[in-house]
Chain A
Amino acid sequence: MTAPAPDAPEPAAPAPPAPPTTTDRQRRISHLLIGVLCAVLGYAIIIQVRATDNGDTLATARPQDLVAILDGVNRRGADLTAEIDELQRTLATLRSGGASSQAALQEAERRAQALAILAGTAAARGPGVSMVMTDPATGVTPEVLLAALQELRNAGAEAVQVNDVRIGVNSSFSGRAGAITVDGTAVTAPYTILAIGDPPTLTAAMNIPGGVGDTAKRAGGTLVVTAATTVTVDALRPLQPTTYARPAGG
């Protein structure tokens, strides 16, 4: 703190003889400062614009969402790996059969059966859940059933039926509360939904807070989910070749 000694006379000494020089210097310094500040401000604006301009939803996603996304992608990867193993085994069997048409036919049949179950043209059996949604207040909208189906699919349901209608990839819910149709077939409350999949996962998915159970309750109904070792889904969809969607490349 020795500074004050040389500092104190400074304003006094140059003041009377040359006041313009001091103001000139001050002006120059302040101009310089303004310039520097403007540069910093401009830089900051560019950084900010770049950060917000990056519209990639993933790049701006929160860590917990990224964990959920990663989990889903990994699950999908595991499914695909299992499917590749299966397909390679089948191909190996077919090839080792020395192009025996008998083996090929058997394999084609086995494959057709597996596909028929997933497409909904064949009955299916397996562990899963059976749930009953009541609707005494006529408040259950088609959207509630749609949400239930999406939750079931997300929880890994492989075969689903709603009342007497088997659900397929192109199933849709229409109508209004109290007069719901599934794929054009009217369904009435109480809605019985059968799903084949991992029972604990399916049960948990239905009872998740804010999920289907809560939605049904808000609509004035109830949802009872029962896990079962064997669920038989035997409503069927017709085998239906597409009319407008042609296989690409033959």
Chain B
Amino acid sequence: MSDRVPADATPAEPAAERPGPLGPRPSFPAPLLESLAQDHLDPGYQRAADRRRTGGAPARVSGSWLLAGTVVIGLLLGVAFQTTRANSAGVDEARLGLLGDVSRAQADASVLEASVVALNDELRSVQAAAGGGALASLTALEQMNALLAVTGPGLRISLNDPEAATGNGAVLDRDIQLLVNGLWSAGAEAVAIGGVRLRSTSAIRQAGGAILVDNRPVLWPMTIEAIGDPATFQQRFVSTPGFGRFSSFEQLYDVDFEVSPVGDVSLPAAAAVDARYVEQPTATTTAEATTVPESGTAGTGTTTPTS
């Protein structure tokens, strides 16, 4: 404690052995307001001014204390930094591992999908070379299952949610569901989101900020392409609730939303669905059903409760 006071301290200084905030001034016991009114100079300044007048050197915090304090603060900062880094390193490592797994699995799935599409094409050509009778309806069925890559006139929707990357995006999966619902109701014949062609089993959902289409993550900014009648498509789409919702998003949340008609869009094929649960009811009813849709849209459906 004693090194606190330099050797050349003025005679008044010894009282500062235990330095109170106001120092050893006589006004010390005075109430705060009174002292504020009386003492126009801070006691510290006063002391320094007195000392200068008497020719003493300015009081200094001794270098060793400064050094010790700096070392201690440095140590504290270092320890805090190490702890934070050690904690985040584990989390980051797990996250990076997951990220690697996701991109690997995605690359694998893309390769698999490409071979499914290629095998489908091959199968079609083998069948065309061999038979040919049932092919007209087969092509229509393949189209209804989104198994063929298609081109045609349509709309391209550019969509960007600037906040999506932070996980606080305004656009949720149900908004994109509604938008796509609007495209279908406006007469779309084929739709792809971010290059993922929609098929009858495709769902649109989200995991955090990422939008999953048919279980494939689609990154922002997102492009939705659809093929439809160029004469009516856009006009009908503009009046759907999905379009209306995104128009207000554009105004309220800075979401980029741009719909432009395109003369020719190309949509990729989707992979065939690997059906595991559906089967024909019976051979006879199927034959009737595929050929005679008279009971068609009036079907009621039946269920057998679980025993």
Residues of A with C-beta under 8 A to B22: none
Whether a CB of chain B sits under 8 angstroms from the CB of A108 is: yes
Q: Are B113 and A69 in contact (CB under 8 A)?
A: no
Residue interface bits B288-304, CB-to-A below 8 A is 1, else 0: 01100101111111111
User: Which residue of chain B lies nearest to A53 when distances are taken between CB atoms in the complex?
Assistant: B165
Minimum CB–CB distance for B293 against chain A, Å? 5
Whether a CB of chain A sits under 8 angstroms from the CB of B266 is: yes
User: Which residue of chain A lies nearest to B220 when distances are taken between CB atoms in the complex?
Assistant: A57
Q: Bound complex: CA of A65 vs CA of B98, how far in Å? A: 10
Binds A, one of B27-35, B37-45, B210-218, B251-259: B210-218
Known: A169-B202, A234-B302. A60 touches B209 (CB 8 A): yes
Residues of A with C-beta under 8 A to B266: 248
Q: Are A244 and B105 in contact (CB under 8 A)?
A: no
User: Which residue of chain A lies nearest to B307 when distances are taken between CB atoms in the complex?
Assistant: A229
Q: Are A244 and B115 in contact (CB under 8 A)?
A: no
Known: A172-B182, A228-B303, A245-B152. A11 touches B57 (CB 8 A): yes
In A92-150, which residues have CB < 8 Å from any B CB? 94-95, 99-101, 103-105, 107-109, 111-128, 130, 142-143, 146-147, 150
Q: Are A77 and B105 in contact (CB under 8 A)?
A: yes
Q: Are B181 and A172 in contact (CB under 8 A)?
A: yes
Q: Are A105 and B133 in contact (CB under 8 A)?
A: yes
Q: Are A108 and B57 in contact (CB under 8 A)?
A: no
Residues of A with C-beta under 8 A to B60: 11
Report A's interface with B, CB cutoff 8 A.
1, 3-4, 7-12, 15, 54-70, 72-77, 79-84, 86-88, 90-91, 94-95, 99-101, 103-105, 107-109, 111-128, 130, 142-143, 146-147, 150-151, 153-154, 156-159, 161, 164-174, 185, 192, 194, 196-199, 226-249
Report B's interface with A, CB cutoff 8 A.
3, 6-8, 57-58, 60, 62-64, 67, 91, 94-95, 98-99, 101-103, 105-106, 108-109, 112-113, 115-116, 119-120, 122-123, 126-127, 129-131, 133-135, 137-154, 164-167, 173-174, 177-178, 181-182, 184-185, 188-191, 198-205, 207-210, 212, 214-217, 219-220, 227-230, 240, 266-267, 271-281, 285-286, 289-290, 293, 295-307
Q: Apart from A63-B98, A77-B109, A84-B112, list 11 A-B contacts with CB within 8 A.
A: A54-B165, A105-B131, A121-B141, A122-B286, A169-B200, A196-B278, A232-B303, A239-B141, A244-B227, A245-B189, A246-B151
